[in-house]
Amino acid sequence: MNIAVPVQVTLGRRLRNTRLQMRWVGWAFRAAGVGYLIWGLVVDDGAINVLGLIFIGYPELLGVIRHLVARKYGSVYTYTMTDEGLRIVTAITDLQYTWSAVKSLREASGQWNFRFVGAGASTVPTAGFSPEQDAEWRAFIAANGLVRA
């Protein structure tokens, strides 16, 4: 197996990935933000209102910060899945993970979410796969028991 998927990482994609990675934590920040906003309105304190707005928009703020920091890696990430593992290549990096380093692999919201031992994570959009690559990939992960929630 040798499946290469080039991905153009835009701000929108980075925001989406950040929201997916934060899951319920993002909603907890938003709920806390609403609480701060209501509290700030009740006690008429502008600083608490600003804090509430920051909490409400925290997932998006984090995504923008991540996007700005990641500009040095370039905007194209190439994911290559082989029999040995996953390789991620950017303008300045070349990472390789063996399949034994994959802690969990899930398909959700049109992408494959990889979580690695040591708190690393990566996402590969399913739209980047051709139908033949998708069939080969699904056969590979089924045969090797890679899908773990």
Indicate if the pLDDT at residue 49 is higher than 60.
yes
Domains by residue range for the chain, with CATH: 2-8+74-144 (2.30.29.30), 11-71 (no CATH)
Mean pLDDT of the chain: 91
Tell me: pLDDT of 115 over 70.
Answer: yes
> What per-residue confidence (pLDDT) applies to 108?
84
Q: Give me the pLDDT at residue 13, please.
A: 87
* Whether residue 119 has pLDDT greater than 80: no
Reported as a pLDDT band with limits 50, 70 and 90, residue 148 is low
Model pLDDT for residues 50-84, shown as the tens digit of each residue? 999 999 999 999 999 999 999 999 999 999 999 99
Residues whose CB falls within 8 Å of the CB of residue 28, separated by 6 or more in sequence, listed in order:
none
> Taking the model in full, what pTM does it have?
0.77
Q: What is the pLDDT of residues 128-143, one digit of tens each?
A: 899 999 999 999 998 8
Three-state secondary structure readout of the chain = CEEEEEEECCHHHHHHHHHHHHHHHHHHHHHHHHHHHHHHHHHCCHHHHHHHHHHHCHHHHHHHHHHHHHHHHCCEEEEEEECCEEEEECCCCEEEEEHHHEEEEEEECCEEEEEECCCEEEEEEHHHCCHHHHHHHHHHHHHHCCCEC
